[in-house]
């Protein structure tokens, strides 16, 4: 019986590892609404001519390092001139969010905007900030 209870506990403990917890997604959703939704749309649909969509954006669901750099350094070095020329808004860099908050925000985007890509951890954000510097201004 104890063994069975132990097994159940291991199962219950390991089950959420398959995806981000609801708590992380709720936090990420709130932070996205506060910091990004005004330009990219509450549902990530973007605003044609103003700001690009986040839904089904390969940069959002692709390499976590690139995505973290967009948030912590701005888009100047990362998005193409062609992409920039399509939109009149300029994306600001450095949101004064903690590594934990950035991880939750990006995890939410990767989960909810069409891709179900892997979660992003605070450790990954810390690493990228260490490697590339926190805030690089939005200048090319």
The residue among 6 and 90 lying less far from ligand HEC, judged by its C-beta, is 90
Q: How far is the CB of 65 from ligand HEC (least distance, A)?
A: 12
Q: How far is the CB of 18 from ligand HEC (least distance, A)?
A: 24
Of 87, 98, 114, 128, nearest to 35 by C-alpha is 98
Of 25, 41, 31, nearest to 97 by C-alpha is 31
The residue among 30 and 126 lying less far from ligand HEC, judged by its C-beta, is 30
The residue among 92 and 134 lying less far from ligand HEC, judged by its C-beta, is 92
Residue 53 buriedness (CB in 10 A; 0-12 / 13-18 / 19+): middle
Q: Decide: helix, strand or coil at residue 95.
A: coil
Which residues would be at the binding site for ligand HEC (CB under 6 A)?
Answer: 35-36, 38-40, 51-52, 57, 59-60, 67, 70-71, 75, 79, 83-84, 87, 89-92, 95
């Amino acid at each position: 019986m104890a063994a069975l209870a132990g097994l159940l506990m291991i199962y219950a403990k390991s089950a959420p590892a398959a995806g981000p917890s609801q708590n992380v997604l709720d936090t990420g959703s709130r932070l996205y609404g506060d910091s990004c939704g005004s330009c990219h749309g509450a549902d990530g649909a973007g605003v044609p001519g103003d700001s690009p969509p986040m839904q089904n954006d390969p940069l959002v669901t692709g390499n976590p390092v690139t995505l973290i750099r967009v948030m912590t350094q701005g888009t100047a070095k990362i998005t193409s001139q062609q992409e920039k020329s399509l939109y009149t808004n300029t994306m600001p860099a450095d949101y004064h969010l903690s590594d934990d908050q950035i991880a939750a925000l990006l995890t939410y985007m990767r989960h909810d905007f069409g891709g179900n890509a892997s979660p992003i951890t605070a450790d990954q954000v810390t690493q990228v900030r260490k490697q590339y510097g926190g805030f690089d201004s939005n200048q090319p």
